[in-house]
Amino acid sequence: MEKNPEVVVGQFLQGRDVLTWADYATGEIEQLLESARRLKEQQQQGATQQTLAGRSLGMIFENASTRTRVSFEVGMTQLGGHALFLNSTDLQIGRGEPVDDTAKVLSRYVDGIMIRANDHEKVKRLAEKSEVPVINALTDWYHPCQALADMLTVQEHLDQLNGRKLVYVGDGNNVAHSVMIIAAKLGMDITLSTPEGYEGEADVWAEARAIAEQTGSKVAHVVDPREALQDADIVYTDVWVSMGVEKEADKRNKAFRRYQVNEELMSLAKKEAIFMHCLPAHRGEEVSAEVIDGPQSVVFDQAENRLHVQKAILQAVMR
């Protein structure tokens, strides 16, 4: 009898935190992708699995969200569970309660905690003190759930991940960090093209390069976006002014001016290259309308796939 792949994933990921894909083996990430693919296929066929019936997910949000909140909440509902939206300003943690105490209390009530926070160290501390799995839904350093959805999208459009060249153009932010890590884990070559000083965190670069040495992939930084896009299979960008750096808007818009992904820049990639963006997007800034709304764009597939990878993660760690 063929084993259900979701059950196999759940057997060895049960109770695990999801903070960064650096903590996961390549095979574990691949099985999560396969689980997400199966779950998406089942949903398209009108079938659902109540694998999290009776389970509850506490969702802590320190900032605004569209895709993260909706995909996690809908995902829990489709799996038979329940999601609680917890605005940090409404929790005692927003009034100074120690993270340790919040982790211990929530562990008595819910079966898993999802948190979207500004400080990655706070999320790490929450995970250390929690007795239930903690899922990082975005911090200032990482956005792992987005990166997993990105890889599912690449698989759907280009089939093979190993050996593909992904070029990320713009700001070396949390999305860039997670894409670097997961791409290296899956044997993809990744190039970040950013202005000097916007490459991202040195510790993440060192981590990504160490992973790349093990998987045989390449991780590089190229200042000139025109040079970086040569032979690219995937072109990825994000906003230039992320949450928390709004005061730097004028400086950043000037620094990133030549990094806009437009038709001219996309023409330097492979003819069959796809364009990706984690959304929300600012048309006319980091990407032109012609590209994001054009035939090479897969941004709404990425957005949809947040739901399917969220479900794969949830049932793997909470079941």
Q: Which domain holds residue 30?
A: 26-142+305-318
Closest by alpha carbon to 278, among 295, 298, 294? 298
- 69 annotated to a ligand binding site: no
* Count of structural domains, the chain: 2
Give yes or no: residues 83 and 179 share one domain.
no
Q: Pick the catalytic residue: 120, 143, 177, 277?
A: 143
Do 152 and 296 have their domain in common? yes
Alpha-carbon distance 2 to 8, whole Å?
11
Residue 15 in domain: no
Looking at the structure, tell me whether residues 188 and 249 fall in a common domain.
Answer: yes
- 146 annotated binding-site participant: yes
Q: Which of 16, 252, 306, 319 is catalytic?
A: 306
Active site residue 120: no
Q: Is 68 part of any known ligand binding site?
A: yes
1-8: long-range contacts, CB 8 A cutoff, minimum separation 24: 5/31, 5/34, 5/35, 5/38, 6/35, 6/38, 6/39, 6/49, 6/51, 6/312, 6/315, 6/316
Residue 9 falls within a domain, yes or no? Answer: no
Residue 92 assigned ligand-binding role: yes
Is 146 considered catalytic here?
Answer: yes
Specify whether 199 is located in the same domain as 234. Answer: yes
Is residue 143 part of the annotated active site? The answer reads yes
Q: Of the residues 278, 308, 310, 315, which is catalytic?
A: 278
In this prediction, residue 29 carries a pLDDT of 98
Instruction: Look up the pTM and report it.
Output: 0.95
Q: What pLDDT score does 125 carry?
A: 97
Catalytic residue of the set 150, 233, 238, 252? 238
Q: Answer yes or no: is 87 a known binding residue.
A: no
Asked if residue 1 belongs to a known ligand binding site, the reply is no
Asked whether residue 19 is domain-assigned, the answer is no
CATH assignment at residue 44: 3.40.50.1370
> Is 32 known as a binding-site position?
no
Decide: 150 and 32 in contact? Cβ < 8 Å.
no
CB neighbour list of residue 42: distance below 8 Å, 6 or more residues apart: 48, 49
- Tell me, yes or no, whether 245 and 280 share the same domain: yes
Q: Are residues 137 and 40 in the same domain?
A: yes
pLDDT in tens, the chain (319 residues): 233 444 344 457 999 999 999 999 999 999 999 999 999 999 999 988 899 999 999 999 998 899 999 999 999 999 999 999 999 888 888 678 999 999 999 999 999 999 999 999 999 999 999 999 999 999 999 999 999 999 999 999 999 999 999 999 999 999 999 999 999 999 999 999 999 999 999 999 999 999 999 999 999 999 999 999 999 999 999 999 987 788 899 999 999 999 999 999 999 999 999 999 999 999 999 999 999 999 999 999 999 999 999 999 999 999 8
298 and 177 inside one domain = yes
Has residue 21 been placed in a domain? no
Assess if residue 40 is contained within a domain.
yes
Do 150 and 293 fall within a single domain?
Answer: yes
For residue 155, is it within any domain? yes
Same domain, 148 and 68: no
Q: Are residues 240 and 184 in the same domain?
A: yes
Which of 55, 116, 164, 252 is flagged as catalytic? Answer: 116
Asked if residue 278 belongs to a known ligand binding site, the reply is yes
Determine which one of 31, 37, 120, 146 is catalytic: 146
Domain membership flag for residue 7: no
Q: Is 4 within a domain?
A: no
Asked if 173 and 206 sit in the same domain, the reply is yes
At residue 209, what are phi and psi to the nearest 5 degrees? -70, -35
Q: Are residues 229 and 264 in the same domain?
A: yes
